[in-house]
Amino acid sequence: MDGQAAFLLHQPATGHRVADLVVGESNRLRDVLLGLAENPALPTRLFARLIANGDEDVLFTLAHRDQLTLPQVRDLVAVGNPSLTGFMVRIGLVPWPEIPKEQPGRLLDAVLGGIAPAAVWRAVATDPNPEARREVAYADDAPADVITFLVRDLDLQVVASAAANPNLPPELLPHLARHPARSYGRPSPRTRTRHPLCSPPS
């Protein structure tokens, strides 16, 4: 551990001290903070101080840590960063009761993360945003009744994803054969603008 990291470890537990240091030596100190966030032996008392720093890379690095406690998950969600929260929901870090359902996109994240009740799949399948419906139609674990609903969608990309879904009921094939757009090939998932660290930890 270098001198800067040692200095941080022995500072009084105030987020303001960390924030002031970031302003003064942003580049070097940011590397130090990232190193601390990655450190498996990070003391619990420093976790909240790193969150208070607010640097997005630091926040995502903390979210990638193994064996996060529920209080730590809550602290990260409380930051209110939509990209961070969405990532955490999609990889199953946030239990269903803890998901901020009032935030746009969180129900879709919960569905794709496999932690939403079946009724939520149906709710997201009626989302007015066609991109949300496309993601549901593309999901391999989408319930058959949801796929049945989505093959009748007005958006052809939604229909194409639903038609190629492994849970498509076979009895719907005649309906699809009569569809005006019969050339179905499973489209690629929608390209999302993601944080560079927004991938499940290996």
pTM: 0.63
Instruction: Give the pLDDT confidence of 49-60 residue by residue, as tens digits.
Output: 999 988 899 999
Token code pair at residue 9: 């470890």
Q: What is the mean pLDDT of residues 84-101?
A: 92
Mean of the pLDDT values across residues 56-69?
92
Residue 67's φ and ψ, nearest 5 degrees, are: 60, 50
Q: Check pLDDT > 70 for residue 191.
A: no
pLDDT value of residue 24: 57
Q: Which residue has the higher pLDDT, 186 or 142?
A: 142
Cα separations in angstroms, 39 against 33, 42, 47, 61, 78: 10, 5, 11, 10, 22
Q: Which residues of 96-106 are buried (b: 16+ CB within 10 A; e: fewer)?
A: eeebeeeeebb
Domain boundaries, the chain: 1-62, 68-116, 118-188
For residues 8 and 65, the model is more confident at 65
44 pLDDT higher than 50: yes
pLDDT of 114-123, one tens digit each?
888 888 999 9
- pLDDT recorded at residue 103: 84
More confident residue, 191 or 45: 45
How many C-beta atoms surround the C-beta of residue 85 within 10 A? 23
In terms of Cα–Cα distance, which of 103, 99, 123, 88 is closest to 194?
A: 88
Which pLDDT score is estimated for 12?
58
